[in-house]
Chains A and B, each alone.
Chain A
Amino acid sequence: MLSRTADHLYWMARYMERAENTARMLDVNYQTSLLPQSADEAEQGWRGLLSISELTGAFHQRHPQVNARNVMDFMVRDAANASSIHACLQAARENARAVRGALTTEVWETQNQTWLEFNRMLARSDFLREPGEFFEWVKFRSHLTRGTQVGTMLMDEALHFVRIGTFLERADNTARLLDVKFHAAAADFFGTAATDDVQEYDFYHWSAILRSVSGFEVYRKVYRNVILPEKVAELLILRPDMPRSLAHCVNEVVQNLRMVANEQSDETLRRAGRLQADLRFGRIDEILATGLHAYLTQFLDRIGDVGVGISRDFLVPVAA
């Protein structure tokens, strides 16, 4: 298949997944903001969100004040913000349009329809009235997109590149989401919960993270326990059966990467495989001993490195 086609498929999937994750992060912050909390705490939540997406600087160029309305505006409909839902859905659709011949009718029409509907909603400012419903809509369009991909596409290279894009992006996003507390509180978190207040905050914080990855019920089912930070971290980092965990994402990346391997991709496969092995044989107490933030930072570097390798080996070389 054409390298350019693979490139478009890969980015189509990445952008759709990013739109979903942005919606998840916004949703969880929005839901949290409905809980009784001080203005400071609320603002901290929104700051954290900007910080994990590495967008604090860009945000302040457009808005003087961090508050729910400004952040939502920036992250939903600001087309100039490359991580906004607007920009992601547009980029996903543009990439799909560039290779519509390589997509099934269902996949293309789903992507196109998402974009057209989004524009209608944007024109009516639906997301301001019912943010929760809007974020749900984004998530379901993403579910539908993935569903049409695995349900209708030939299981060939095209699908493999789509899946690689989806799971690389998801790995990146889950890692950032887990790191959010660090960004919000500007401190590593374990053992700092000295008072009951902070413990209560922790409960809501960690359950919010779980909910943002559709993991709250999964957590209960797996651990049958109260919400404990180290278990949440374990679930989202190491459990291979949790669909949004780092372990699962990397497993999928490696599996699909093997299917498309070519003469120059050995090194990229080796690095991805090594990351997979670390996750497979890692233990949560080790990770926490290193420090969660340090661990996640390193993970983001390594997954970014795999992404660069994939671009170099298969796709349109970045500096072509």
Chain B
Amino acid sequence: MTPHFDEMHATSTTVREHYRSYDRWLVRQPRDVIRSRREEAEMIFRRVGITFAVYGAKDEDGAGTERLIPFDLIPRIIPAHEWREMERGLRQRVEALNRFIHDVYHEQQILQAGWIPAEQVLRNAQYRAEMRGVAVAGGVYAHIAGIDIVRAGNADGSGTYYVLEDNLRVPSGVSYMLENRKMMMRLFPDLFNEHRVEPVAHYPDLLLETLRAVSPAGVNEPTVVVLTPGMYNSAYFEHAFLAQQMGVELVEGQDLFVKDGFVYMRTTQGPKRVDVIYRRVDDDFLDPKAFRPDSTLGCAGMLDVYRAGNLTLANAIGTGVADDKSIYPYVPKMIEFYLGEQPILRNVPTWQCREADDLRYVLDHLGELVVKEVHGAGGYGMLVGPAATRAEIEDFRRVLQANPANYIAQPTLSLSTCPTFVESGIAPRHIDLRPFVLSGKSVQMVPGGLTRVALKEGSLVVNSSQGGGTKDTWVLEG
């Protein structure tokens, strides 16, 4: 485990520079005020319906399967200079990832140059042969990228940011970033008088600008829509929220149909052509004619329209080939290959269990490592060595040996902590950060991102489906 690093406290008695003013404010607050603010926040989230659905769960209060994501009132604060550096790193990384996706569906230069083993890309389940040679608008594939970043401590007491994962398919969580800020401003307006916090509320504007910028050639006033799997999807709130904030239609597969080479939606005034789809449906479900035939979430024939250049999908089909965990170790090489630069943001050292040497090392050190499924998400199918029992480790060893290529392993980073309200008062809890990077005509982002927090003591799993919460994320102006 890496040494412990707390975002707020340098030592148990000293507060870091960028948290001093917040700390002075916090100690002035009576405890019962904070408690009542927490209740108020919960009530508002319920009324607004900022909930996520948990499959197979049932609530006793009649709210069905809707749950609140716990919201913590102590913000995660990032000083201006750190954010500037991180932003540069994010731009660089997402640019290289987009170049990579374009490359592997066209000339495949990086494979020919031998920088990445060709079979790892071309045999990858996420590689979509259907996308070979398809020209997508602006050459952009991952229009919306959620890059998961963690900070781990070093022996000298400093901390280092690492990219843990790139999410290039349908990353979610941005609505919580926006709603958390709204909530904080509503609950603690005085805090925002005392701090100069970079605003984030213009995200939907940037998103709309991005989507409009990548409309099919020759379309001047594109019709943009958000495609959702429907109201029972866990991220439905976010789909509805983004559509409303951008002022575009929220459509389901059943609202769309293909005719004469274009996609249309059914409206009360007859069919209307759709040019750009911000889809929150996975590749597999987009087009029952091309992918899963049993899908009712997509629209038959959409792929043909897309390939003909009469439709833009954001994100593009086939971006999964670049955010797969088996490809992740090569991202620093992509940056070097396509941009001729050194990576600004670091990768976490990764062992690929497909390699015999790596596998041997991993099997010998299971108790210290985090082992993840290459295609896993949501914190499922993974082993956190230091937190696992002996029996769990042995079980996992068998699973790993049965199919090593399906796993990667990383050192257990002790994610940095941030003070958090818990039952017993205020205590440190592990956090991560997901900034959202938009690529259209240019690369844009709002300062900060979504901070997720593992509410269970000692837990490193921040996913909302496993008891994670969220915090407001402040980038201080400077």
Write the residues of chain A forming the contact surface with B, with a CB cutoff of 8 angstroms. 1-6, 94, 97-102, 105, 108-109, 112-113, 115-116, 119-120, 122-123, 157, 161, 260, 262-263, 314-315, 320
Contacts and interface: CB of A to CB of B under 8 A. Distances in A.
Nearest to A6: B268
B425 interface: no
A262 B62 contact: no
Contacts of B267: 1-3
A263 B268 contact: no
B57 interface: no
B270 A263 contact: yes
B265 to A, nearest CB: 6
A94 B231 CA distance: 9
17 contacts: A1-B268, A3-B266, A4-B255, A4-B266, A94-B231, A100-B49, A100-B240, A109-B47, A112-B49, A113-B47, A116-B47, A120-B61, A122-B62, A123-B62, A157-B268, A262-B268, A315-B268
A260 B49 contact: no
Given A98-B231, A262-B269, A5 B240 contact: no
Q: What 7 A-B pairs come out closest when comparing CB atoms?
A: A101-B244, A119-B62, A101-B240, A101-B243, A314-B268, A3-B266, A101-B250
A3 B47 contact: no
Contacts of A108: 49
B249 interface: yes
A262 B251 CA distance: 21
B48 interface: yes
Nearest to A265: B268
A119 B269 contact: no
Given A2-B251, A4-B255, A112-B47, A262 B270 contact: yes
Contact of B266 (A2, A99, A116, A122): A2
A4 B254 contact: yes
A114 to B, nearest CB: 10
Contacts of B61: 119-120, 123
A97 B49 contact: yes
B273 to A, nearest CB: 14
A315 B266 CA distance: 9
For the complex, would chain B's binding face be called helix, strand, loop or mixed by DSSP majority? mixed
A116 B270 contact: no
A1 B230 CA distance: 17
A314 B270 CA distance: 9
B255 A3 contact: yes
Nearest to A7: B268
Nearest to A160: B268
B252 interface: yes
A4 B252 contact: yes
Interface string B221-250: 000000000110000000011011000011
A4 B270 CA distance: 12
A98 B252 CA distance: 10
B249 A119 contact: no
Contacts of B265: 2
A120 B61 CA distance: 8
A6 B266 CA distance: 11
B63 interface: yes
Contact of A5 (B48, B62, B249, B270): B249
Given A4-B255, A101-B241, A101-B250, A119 B268 contact: no
Contacts of A263: 270
A2 B249 contact: yes
Contacts of B230: 98
A113 B265 CA distance: 32
Contacts of B62: 115, 119, 122-123
Nearest to B66: A97
Given A97-B49, A100-B49, A116 B63 contact: yes
B30 to A, nearest CB: 29
B46 interface: yes
A123 B252 CA distance: 35
A116 B240 contact: no
B145 to A, nearest CB: 24
Contacts of B241: 101
Given A98-B230, A98-B231, A112-B49, 18 more contacts: A1-B268, A1-B269, A2-B267, A3-B255, A3-B268, A4-B252, A99-B250, A100-B240, A100-B244, A101-B240, A109-B47, A109-B49, A113-B47, A116-B46, A119-B61, A120-B61, A123-B61, A320-B254
